[in-house]
Amino acid sequence: MSRKKEHTRPVPAGPRPTGPKAAQVRLPAAGAVAVAAALALTGCSSGGSSSSASSPAPTASSSGSPSGSGIKPASSAPAQSGNQLQDAYQKVIADVLPSVVQITTGDSLGSGIVYDDKGDIVTNAHVVGTATTFTVTLANSTTSLAASLVASYPDSDLAVIRLSSPPSGLKPAVFGDSGKVELGQITLAMGSPLGLSSSVTQGIVSATGRTVSEPRGGGSPGATIGNMVQTSAAINPGNSGGALVNLNSQVIGINTLAATEPEANGAAAPGIGFAIPASTITSIADQLIKQGKVTNSGRAALGITARTGFNQQFQPAGAVIVAVSPGGAAASAGLQAGDVITRIGDTQVDSLNALTTTLAALTPGSKVTVTYTRDGASKTADVTLGTLETP
């Protein structure tokens, strides 16, 4: 059976990994990594615990266990608790799945999330690539709808497309508060993995605040994205652009990357996926819809142009400043072209990629100490970070 192409690309996750086996990350679909739906336990744990606590103490069974023998019949509480969790899953799926769509771009498949009732759909920039027209299929529907590009912002790997004729009853997703995402919360990933539309997988929030660098190619410029949510919910090719949801039926992220094992010929590393957080999604999507471009990236910057510097052994040894933007953060702190940045705060910088990754984890207005060399001498400067300018 033939199937449309779903891109998968290896990429290093976060700062340069150390240790014997550094995991890599892939973009699970040329236009598609399903957003995992994070389901917070707060929606069901209280019901399960109260049910168990209120169960009356069991007595001797009529089948012959003598009173006082210490043998008690099994409590039904675990089954009740399991049913409550299952009911919570099913409610979230019923609430959110109608807001998750499949996007077809040429011969590639991806996923997206209905953003408003005007037909705007948010997805990954690497899903849309260079295309400007798309075919969209709503959940539980076989009708193909035409859509066109509103705008794309590859630096944050986000894009918005718009349905040409939005149907009645279009259901926008509800986006959650990224600041309330915590480790251990249940997540559901919804999207079209391998072209299987309206698919759902489950897991938990494994970590927050991850900084991950994407691979270049296939519509991605190799963006470095900070504050990503790591989840154990399965993320497969075709899931890109889909929803990561919590148990309150709120989208907490757009699933974008999945880990691969570099020593296993790029085979998937199960249970390690990454989603762009809801706060980034709403900030960028609102700007793309209202202005057609991003004017406030929300990303920290030094206000420099730089390249990787090498030592006499031809090993990466820092980020060389090529040019300093007048009035920018670096210029205000006295940094100059030719300076070689070797550390930001306590984080070593041995390349341009390391500098970009470090800055992606910081926020505009943060104060950091920059260590650099000038004419062979090591110096430091206290810098108040600016905002990354957009074209």
Has 339 been annotated as catalytic? Answer: no
For position 90, what pLDDT does the model report? Answer: 95
Question: pTM surpassing 0.85?
Answer: no
Q: Which of 120, 155, 157, 339 is catalytic?
A: 157
For position 220, what pLDDT does the model report? Answer: 64
CB 188 within 8 A of CB 36: yes
Say which residues have a Cβ less than 8 Å from residue 359's Cβ, sequence separation at least 6.
299, 300, 301, 302, 344, 385
DSSP reduced 3-state for 367? strand
Confidence of residue 80 (pLDDT cuts 50, 70, 90): low
DSSP reduced 3-state for 96? helix
Residue of 149, 129, 128, 147 lying closest to 138 (CA atoms): 147
Q: Per residue in 281-298, is it b (16+ CB within 10 Å) or e — as a string?
A: bbbbbebbbeeeebeebb
Question: Residue 201's beta-bridge partner residues?
Answer: 189
Mean pLDDT of 15-43: 33
Which of the pair, 16 or 81, is modelled with greater confidence?
Answer: 81
Q: Is the pLDDT of residue 208 over 90?
A: yes
Has 346 been annotated as catalytic? Answer: no
Q: Which CATH superfamily is domain 300-387 in?
A: PDZ domain (2.30.42.10)
Q: Is the pLDDT of residue 55 over 70?
A: no
Query: What is the identity of the amino acid at 212?
Result: V
Mean pLDDT of 379-389: 92
- Provide the residue ranges of all domains of the chain, joining segments of one domain with +: 1-49+78-294, 300-387
Q: What is the pLDDT of residues 163-185, one digit of tens each?
A: 999 998 899 999 999 989 999 99
DSSP reduced 3-state for 311? coil
For position 360, what pLDDT does the model report? Answer: 86
DSSP reduced 3-state for 309? strand
Longest pairwise C-alpha distance within the chain: 90
Q: Which two tokens stand for residue 306?
A: 């730089």
Mean pLDDT of 95-115: 93
Residue of 30, 288, 269 lying closest to 153 (CA atoms): 288
Residue of 13, 18, 390, 30 lying closest to 228 (CA atoms): 13
Confidence of residue 36 (pLDDT cuts 50, 70, 90): very low
Residue of 378, 368, 383 lying closest to 334 (CA atoms): 383
Question: Which range has the top average pLDDT, 147-161, 186-200, 216-230?
Answer: 147-161
The backbone torsions φ and ψ at residue 116, rounded to the nearest 5 degrees and listed phi first, read -150, 175
Q: Which of 199, 240, 279, 297 is catalytic?
A: 240
| 321 Cα distance to chain centroid | 30
DSSP reduced 3-state for 339? coil
Q: What is the pLDDT of residues 327-337, one digit of tens each?
A: 999 999 999 99
Which of the pair, 213 or 100, is modelled with greater confidence?
Answer: 100
For position 78, what pLDDT does the model report? Answer: 56
Say which range, 39-43, 54-58, 96-100, 353-357, has the weakest mean pLDDT. 39-43
CATH value of 1-49+78-294 in 1.20.960.40, 3.40.50.960, 1.10.357.10, 2.40.10.120: 2.40.10.120
Residue-averaged pLDDT of the chain: 80
Q: Is the pLDDT of residue 349 over 80?
A: yes
For position 62, what pLDDT does the model report? Answer: 36
Which of the pair, 300 or 29, is modelled with greater confidence?
Answer: 300
Has 240 been annotated as catalytic? Answer: yes
Say which residues have a Cβ less than 8 Å from residue 276's Cβ, sequence separation at least 6.
124, 156, 157, 158, 225, 228, 229, 253, 254, 256
Q: What is the pLDDT of residues 225-253, one digit of tens each?
A: 889 999 999 988 889 999 999 999 999 99
Q: Which of 108, 120, 126, 297 is catalytic?
A: 126
Q: What is the pLDDT of residues 107-137, one digit of tens each?
A: 789 999 999 999 999 999 999 999 999 999 9
